[in-house]
C-alpha cells in the first residue's frame, strides 16, 4: 500500500506533487503547508496491486492577517487657533472607525473639538481581527481674547451712609466675575455673573475684581478696583505732624509727575510710579501725592510693590493746592492711578523712616505744602551727631 497526496489532479498515472509514503502508519505526509493563501489537498491511499484507492480532500484556509494602526509622529496637531485638533495615523489591513464617531478621511481625522478629551481609533479586517489606539487631546494654547472689566470706580457715601451694593460691567458670554482676596477687614461680599452685581457687608476700602474666562485654567483676565470712600469725608486743613526721635533717620524720595503749575480744569488719566530705594528695610513710609489747581476727590489709592492698597485722604493747603497722604509699610516702590485728574498730579513724595544709630533730633517735624517749609522747630542737639530730618525750602514739581 502506498499513500499519495497532491494539490491538483492532472490525470493518472501522473499526480502533480504526488509522493509515495512508505512505511507504517501513522505517517507524516507533508510536514508544512503554507497558510498564506487558501489551498486544497487530496490524500489517496492506493493499492498498487489492484488499483484500489480511497481519496480524502483537505482544504486549508489562509490564516487571517491582523490589521495594524499607529499614531503618526507629531500627531495630534492643534488647529483653528487652538479650538480644534487633527489626528494622523498609519493603518494596514482593515477599515478605521472612531469612538466617539468622527469623520475619517484617508489617514487623518480633522476638526476635532478641543473639548474632546480623547479619541479611540479601531481598525477591523474582513476576517474579524482588530487593533486599536487611543489618542488624547493636545494641550492647545487658546489665544487670549482679553475681557473688558471696565474702569476703576470711586463710590462716595450717600446721605452719610455706605452703599449696600454696587455694579460692575456685565460679563460677556463665556466670562465670569471673581473677587480678588483680600477684601477690606469687616467686609463680606459676593458677585454675580453675568450681571456683575456686588452685594453684602460693604465697608470703606478698596475692592478688587477679576473678569476671566469660565475656565480657571485659562489665564486670560482683566482687573478692576472699586474704592468705597469713608463717610464724613470732607476737605481738611493741613495737619499731619510727627516728632523726630533720637536714632531715627528720615530720607526723602520724590518724583515730579506733571507741570509745576498744572492747567486748572484739565482732565486725563494715567498712573504715576516711584521707586523707593532700600524701602524694604524701612520701619515705615509716609507717602504724599501733590495736586495743584484741581483734585480727583476726597481720597486716592496708593499701591505698594506687593499690590497692597492704601487709602490716602485729601487735605487742602490753600492756593489751589491739595495733598493726599497715608502711612504704608516697607516697600520698594509706590504707585497711584488717577482716571480723571491725572494732569493735575504734580509730584509724589515718600518720607522713609528707619531706626539708625548716630542720628538725633528734637522738635516737631511738620509736613507742609510741597512748595513751603518742610521742617520746622528742629535743632541739632549733639554736634557730633548727624541730623537727617529735612528742612528748608524744597519744591516738588518739574524741578
The span from the CA of 285 to the CA of 301, in Å, is 15
pLDDT of residue 379: 29
The span from the CA of 170 to the CA of 97, in Å, is 45
DSSP code, position 264: T
Is-contact 189 164, C-beta < 8 A? no
Q: Which residue has the cell 490524500?
A: 43
pLDDT of residue 38: 83
pLDDT of residue 221: 87
DSSP code, position 147: -
Please indicate whether residue 12 or residue 104 has the higher confidence score (pLDDT): 104
Q: Is the pLDDT of residue 371 over 50?
A: no
Q: Is the pLDDT of residue 376 over 70?
A: no
Q: Is the pLDDT of residue 386 over 60?
A: no
| pLDDT, tens digit (0-9, with 9 covering 90-100), for 96-146 | 999 999 999 999 999 999 889 999 999 998 878 899 999 999 988 767 778
200: left (phi over 0), alpha (psi -120 to 50) or beta: left
Q: Give, in order, the Cα–Cα distances in Å from 112 to each of 66, 99, 122, 218, 227.
A: 28, 12, 17, 20, 46
What is the average pLDDT score of the chain?
78
DSSP code, position 258: S
Q: Provide CATH code, domain 153-228.
A: 2.60.40
Is-contact 349 286, C-beta < 8 A? no
25 pLDDT band, cuts 50/70/90, is low
Question: 236-237 and 309-318 as β-strands: parallel, antiparallel, unpaired?
Answer: parallel
Q: Is the pLDDT of residue 362 over 80?
A: no
DSSP code, position 347: E
280 contact partners, CB below 8 Å, separation of at least 6: 330, 331, 332
Q: Is the pLDDT of residue 377 over 60?
A: no
Q: Where are the domains of the chain?
A: 2-60, 68-136, 153-228, 236-379
216 pLDDT band, cuts 50/70/90, is low
Q: Which helix (H) or strand (E) holds 323?
A: strand 321-328
The span from the CA of 226 to the CA of 210, in Å, is 12
Q: Is the pLDDT of residue 196 over 50?
A: yes
pLDDT of residue 316: 82
| pLDDT, tens digit (0-9, with 9 covering 90-100), for 272-283 | 999 999 999 998
Q: Is the pLDDT of residue 392 over 80?
A: no
Distance of CA 209 to the CA centre of its chain: 15
Domains 153-228 and 236-379 share a fold: no
Most confident region among 147-161, 255-269, 273-287, 291-305 by mean pLDDT: 273-287
The span from the CA of 96 to the CA of 107, in Å, is 9
pLDDT of residue 24: 60
| pLDDT, tens digit (0-9, with 9 covering 90-100), for 320-352 | 888 898 889 999 999 998 888 899 999 999 988
> Which residues, in sequence order, are bridge partners of residue 39?
60
The span from the CA of 339 to the CA of 390, in Å, is 32
| pLDDT, tens digit (0-9, with 9 covering 90-100), for 290-299 | 998 888 888 8
Question: Cell triple for residue 26?
Answer: 501513522
61 pLDDT band, cuts 50/70/90, is confident
390 pLDDT band, cuts 50/70/90, is very low
Q: What is the mean pLDDT of residues 149-163?
A: 87
pLDDT of residue 244: 54
Question: Among 110-119, 154-163, 234-243, 296-305, whose mean pLDDT is lowest?
Answer: 234-243
pLDDT of residue 110: 94
Q: Is the pLDDT of residue 227 over 70?
A: yes
Length of the chain (residues) = 399
Most confident region among 262-266, 271-275, 355-359 by mean pLDDT: 271-275
The span from the CA of 293 to the CA of 281, in Å, is 35
pLDDT of residue 394: 32
Number of Cβ within a 10 Å radius of residue 139: 9
Question: Cell triple for residue 94?
Answer: 482593515
Concatenated DSSP letters of 9-43: B--TT-BTT-----SSSS--S-S----SS-EEEEE
Q: Give, in order, the Cα–Cα distances in Å from 95 to each of 65, 91, 144.
A: 13, 8, 40
395 contact partners, CB below 8 Å, separation of at least 6: 260, 370, 371
Q: What is the mean pLDDT of residues 144-171?
A: 88
pLDDT of residue 174: 82
> Which residues, in sequence order, are bridge partners of residue 359?
386
pLDDT of residue 251: 85
The span from the CA of 17 to the CA of 44, in Å, is 12
The span from the CA of 258 to the CA of 295, in Å, is 13
233 pLDDT band, cuts 50/70/90, is low
Cα–Cα nearest to 301, from 154, 145, 136, 118: 154
Distance of CA 226 to the CA centre of its chain: 23
Q: Is the pLDDT of residue 255 over 50?
A: yes
Number of Cβ within a 10 Å radius of residue 18: 18
Q: Calculate what percentage of the chain has a pLDDT beyond 70.
A: 75
Q: Which residue has the cell 522738635?
A: 363
Q: Provide CATH code, domain 236-379.
A: 2.60.120
Please indicate whether residue 18 or residue 56 has the higher confidence score (pLDDT): 56
Amino acid at each position: 500500500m502506498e499513500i499519495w497526496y497532491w494539490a491538483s489532479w492532472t490525470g493518472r498515472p501522473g499526480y502533480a506533487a504526488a509522493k509515495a509514503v512508505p512505511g507504517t502508519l501513522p505517517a507524516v505526509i507533508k510536514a508544512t503547508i503554507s497558510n498564506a493563501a487558501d489551498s486544497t489537498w487530496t490524500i489517496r491511499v492506493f493499492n498498487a496491486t489492484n488499483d484500489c484507492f480511497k481519496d480524502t480532500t483537505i482544504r486549508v484556509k489562509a490564516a487571517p492577517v491582523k490589521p495594524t494602526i499607529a499614531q503618526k509622529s507629531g500627531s495630534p496637531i492643534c488647529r483653528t487657533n487652538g479650538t480644534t485638533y487633527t489626528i494622523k495615523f498609519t493603518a494596514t489591513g482593515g477599515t478605521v472607525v472612531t469612538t466617539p464617531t468622527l469623520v475619517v478621511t484617508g489617514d487623518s481625522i480633522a476638526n476635532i473639538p478641543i473639548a474632546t478629551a480623547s479619541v479611540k481609533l479601531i481598525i477591523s479586517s474582513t476576517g474579524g481581527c482588530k487593533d486599536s489606539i487611543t489618542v488624547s487631546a493636545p494641550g492647545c494654547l487658546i489665544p487670549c481674547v482679553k475681557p473688558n472689566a471696565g474702569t476703576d470706580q470711586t463710590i462716595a457715601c450717600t446721605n452719610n451712609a455706605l452703599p449696600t451694593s454696587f455694579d460692575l460691567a456685565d460679563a460677556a458670554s463665556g466670562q465670569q466675575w471673581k473677587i480678588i482676596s483680600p477684601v477690606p477687614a469687616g467686609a463680606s461680599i459676593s458677585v454675580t455673573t453675568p450681571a456683575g452685581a456686588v452685594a453684602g457687608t460693604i465697608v470703606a476700602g478698596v475692592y478688587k475684581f477679576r473678569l476671566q474666562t469660565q475656565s480657571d485654567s485659562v489665564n486670560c483676565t482683566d482687573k478692576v478696583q472699586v474704592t468705597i470712600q469713608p463717610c464724613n469725608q470732607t476737605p481738611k486743613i493741613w495737619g499731619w505732624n510727627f516728632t523726630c526721635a533720637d536714632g531715627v533717620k528720615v530720607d526723602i524720595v520724590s518724583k515730579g509727575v506733571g507741570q509745576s503749575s498744572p492747567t486748572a480744569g484739565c482732565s486725563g488719566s494715567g498712573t504715576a510710579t516711584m521707586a523707593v530705594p532700600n524701602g524694604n528695610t524701612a520701619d515705615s513710609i509716609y507717602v504724599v501725592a501733590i495736586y495743584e489747581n484741581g483734585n480727583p476727590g476726597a481720597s486716592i489709592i496708593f499701591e505698594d510693590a506687593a499690590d497692597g492698597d492704601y487709602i490716602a485722604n485729601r487735605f487742602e493747603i490753600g492756593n489751589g493746592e491739595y495733598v493726599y497722604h497715608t502711612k504704608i509699610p516697607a516697600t520698594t516702590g509706590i504707585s497711584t492711578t488717577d482716571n480723571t485728574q491725572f494732569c493735575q498730579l504734580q509730584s509724589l513724595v515718600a518720607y522713609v523712616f528707619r531706626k539708625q544709630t548716630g542720628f538725633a533730633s528734637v522738635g516737631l517735624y511738620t509736613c507742609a505744602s510741597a512748595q513751603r517749609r518742610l521742617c520746622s522747630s528742629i535743632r541739632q542737639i549733639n554736634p557730633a551727631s548727624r541730623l537727617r530730618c529735612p528742612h528748608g525750602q524744597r519744591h516738588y514739581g518739574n524741578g
